[in-house]
Amino acid sequence: MDSLIQLFQGFETALTWWNLLYCLAGVSIGMMVGVLPGLGPTTGTAILLPVTFSMEPVSAIIMLSGIYYGSMYGGTITSVLINTPGEAASVITTLDGYPLAKQGRAGTALGVAGIGSFIGGTISIIGLAFIGPPLAQFALKFGPPEFFALMVLGLITVIGLMGKSIIRGLISALLGLCLALIGMDPVSGAVRFTFNEPNLMNGIDFVIIAMGLFGLSEILIGLENISKAETPPKVKGLLPKREEWRPTLSSIGRGTGLGFLIGLVPGTNSVIPAILSYSLEKKLAKDPSRFGKGAIEGVAGPETANNSYSGAALIPLFTLGIPSSPTIAVILGAFIMHGLTPGPMLFQSNPDIVWAIIASMFIGNLILLIFNLPLAGVWAKITMVPAKLLYPIIFLISILGAYSVNNRLFDVWVLLAFGVLGYFMKKTDIPIAPIVLTFVLGKLLESSLLQSMILFRGDFSGFFSRPISAVMLTIAILILLVSVIAGIKKKKELLATDVEM
């Protein structure tokens, strides 16, 4: 009851005209940051951090938080319409969102993503307000072994994204893991696979890889058929068909729960719940072959999961003072810059600020829903731009986005290299999803594995001596066994069918 009273008091502060203006500015900038490839929530939040120095603490945090969760919405738009993920978590959305757009259902994809994002984001904020503190205590039990087990579980789910050929999929996945090793060893500091190139000391930025493999490769593929290109179909409706509502709402429910739980774990990022949600939806589907061709659940689940994650990821920050992602770390810096100390005492020492920020998130999610549903047709008009005009625009945005990541020309050359690589992967039917997903998980996997082995003095059995890591590794092994058995069974059925014919 006390939380409810304090939340209402928070709404009194959040609904003042200046805080509403800052909330609107934050989510609007966040949408634009999400739409523009290469920026992402971390960059957008960091760039505007100095701007907030002269602002009131509550207004500053409201605006920066708006940029954070607003960018989660915005990244969907370019993923669906032009197959270019605006930020990392939207990579998964391209798998089914873009095929839906090519079928003339871009409005439906954006509508489902907007509804799922609103539901996931709102429920996660309710969790932040009412059940965050007790649940966040559980995250204190996570050490390197638990993170390693979580990453293994995430990598096992990549099996569901391997495409038609497991061999081709494994080639892609292993390439992603190799790319993750470029740069400094996270424990010893040893330099690997840099070929004496100083710009590779810190590895390759994920956003550049994603833009190259997905965005530029699509331009190269499209240029082959530019003379035969047809005018994209007009968007008809923003809502799913009647028979699609039930699976869509089920996906939204599962995505909300999954994103919320992963958001409680410090050290994770929004890519992980999107990966797990997509893999879960594919495994639960009656016809998994629909995924990658325009399955509505492939948009609803991951989009809900990453927005649910964004709200839940603030729980460790507010209650424990632990940033759970790079963007949250920037927001932590904003707290400190304004004389606030996130942690257990924050709710007692600055309750007016905390509850005003939480209340503003409810308002911001409502604003974003309005931006996404009634205005989805405006965003969808991007698909009506002729290819000869659209491709140069995408190319220019990608180049500027790549350069803006670290302000260096080297990243532009890396972007072009991965664009060519993505083109040849598409031409040879090698799936792109595993390479970018294992790249993200590989960095986290290596760091947590090395730290765990130091903790266990080289004894791998130590992972099974800790309950949480033991349970997650057991689940991962069971998923792997089920996938292998299902594959063998399917092959036997195909052989039996061939014999009968």
385-428 pLDDT, tens per residue? 566 776 787 788 778 777 876 778 888 898 899 989 988 888 88
Look over the chain and give the mean of its residue pLDDT values, rounded to a whole number.
76
pLDDT tens digits, 22-71: 888 888 888 777 766 555 676 667 667 667 777 888 888 888 888 887 87
Q: H/E element holding 23?
A: helix 17-35
pLDDT tens digits, 158-181: 655 555 566 777 788 888 888 888
HEC sequence for 102-138: HCCCHHHHHHHHHHHHHHHHHHHHHHHHHCHHHHHHH
Cβ(354)–Cβ(346) below 8 Å: yes
Burial class (CB in 10 A: 0-12, 13-18, 19+), 190: exposed
Q: Is 245's pLDDT higher than 50?
A: yes
Q: Which two three-digit tokens encode residue 446?
A: 């290596």
Q: Give the side-chain half-sphere CA count within 13 A for 14.
A: 26
% of the chain with per-residue pLDDT over 90: 1
pLDDT for the residue numbered 355: 81
Is the pTM of the predicted complex or chain greater than 0.85? no
pLDDT for the residue numbered 228: 47
pLDDT tens digits, 463-492: 888 888 888 889 888 877 876 777 677 777
Local confidence band at 132 (pLDDT 50, 70, 90 cut-offs):
low
Q: Is 136's pLDDT higher than 70?
A: no
Longest dimension (CA), the chain: 77
Cβ(312)–Cβ(261) below 8 Å: yes
The helix-helix angle for 217-224 and 410-427 (nearest 10°) equals 50
